[in-house]
Amino acid sequence: MILELKDISVQYEKNIDAIKDASFNVEGGDFVALIGPSGAGKSTLLKAINALNPLSKGSVIYKGEDVHRLRAKDLRRLRRNIAFIFQDTSIIENISVLDNVLLARLGEKNFFEAMLSKFTNDEYMDALKAIEMVGLKEKTYALAKDLSGGQKQRVAIARSLFQKSDLILADEPISSLDIETKRSIMDIFKMLNTDYKKTIIISMHDLDLSLEYAKRVIAIKDHRVYFDRSANELNYDSVKDLFI
């Protein structure tokens, strides 16, 4: 088991729960789709996993460590092993694809290396490999601002590869894309899970795609875990009422 959520709650305002009493475990190599209506708490839950959101109750255990009890230095170390792909990608528009990917390891540098953006030859090679893996080799030196939405999501995924994280958390990475691009992005996540044994938790609204690509589906409704089932036990009709 790589991740354990124990009865966690997150409050944004006093006595108002964004997540209430959520518990589940994730095994290494799992591919989990986190589904539910807008405002149910999916993003809040993802951000609580690596302490971007504080807990009001419960604990998050990652590889035996209580994430929310770690000192700042240890939390930074742990976050290098948990890649977070934001819905807006959080890439820097005015630098190249390569530089955006390299920045994923900036936190590992000392002050002077960080100021000079100094990377080793091996790091450059790793970054180039990550870019090629997501199908952006021809865009390596292009500015991020010149990319399409789907290409920017590929950059964010390449950054998580370069980070060499075991766990990838993706917050609705395909929500604003057309269906063809959505499938191309999901194909990359599937490849990372199947070929590279990455553990993936991805929040999404697309029921059909979640059932097609994920191994497991966790539904969030009214800020609670509504169900936790194997994807092959479900179909569209069995989960569509979740969004009503």
Task: Give the pLDDT band (50/70/90) at residue 213.
Answer: very high
Select the more confidently predicted residue: 109 or 180. Answer: 180
pLDDT of amino acid 106: 74
Q: Does residue 6 contact residue 32 with C-beta atoms inside 8 Å?
A: no
Q: Does residue 50 contact residue 171 with C-beta atoms inside 8 Å?
A: no
Q: Does residue 220 contact residue 42 with C-beta atoms inside 8 Å?
A: yes
Q: In this predicted model, what pLDDT tens digit does every residue of 13-52 receive, in sequence order?
A: 778 899 999 999 999 999 999 999 888 999 999 999 999 9
Q: What DSSP string describes 95-149?
A: SBHHHHHHGGGGGGS-HHHHHTT---HHHHHHHHHHHHHTT-GGGTTSBGGGS-H
Q: Per-residue pLDDT averaged across 165-194, rounded?
A: 93
Give residue for tokens 């993802």: 46
Least Cα distance to 157 among 189, 125, 127, 196 occurs for 189
Q: Per-residue pLDDT averaged across 87-114, rounded?
A: 77
Task: Please state the pTM of the whole predicted model.
Answer: 0.91
